[in-house]
Amino acid sequence: MERSTGAGSGEDPGRVTLRPAGELDISTVGTLEAALTDALARPSLREIVVDLAEVRFLDSSGVRVLVLAATAARERDAVLRVTDPQPVVARVLQITAVGPLLGLADPLRADGPTWRRLT
């Protein structure tokens, strides 16, 4: 997994970017969990960005780790957000209703509610 800590010239030191690749499932999610734990321990942390562009599969254990890390970030006055999910990964985040918690726009609410009141 590629990590960027914002320690370079011109980068935000309070931002950590993680770029997992492949599958995030019960057998591989430990690497992401460890990276998120390390990021959350940074005293200057303001934002964690998890770039999902190279993730081709996400199961419930991956969703769990992301949600727990987002909650822990909020407790530290920081933000965790995911970016660029593959369509199948975006679908998992949508059907589990955690996309908005992780900083993704809710496609069902983009044009307003998808329901209507029956009279």
Q: CATH topology for 2-102? A: Transcription Regulator spoIIAA (3.30.750)
pLDDT per position as a tens digit, 90-105: 999 999 999 999 999 7
pLDDT per position as a tens digit, 54-75: 999 999 999 999 999 999 999 9
- pLDDT for 65 equals 98
pLDDT value at 87 more than 50: yes
Average pLDDT over residues 27-44: 96
CA distance 60 to 24: 9
Boundaries of every domain in the chain: 2-102
CA distance 56 to 46: 27
- pLDDT for 116 equals 47
Q: From residue 81, how far is each of 27, 66, 96, 119 by CA, in Å?
A: 23, 9, 16, 39
Average pLDDT over residues 75-83: 96
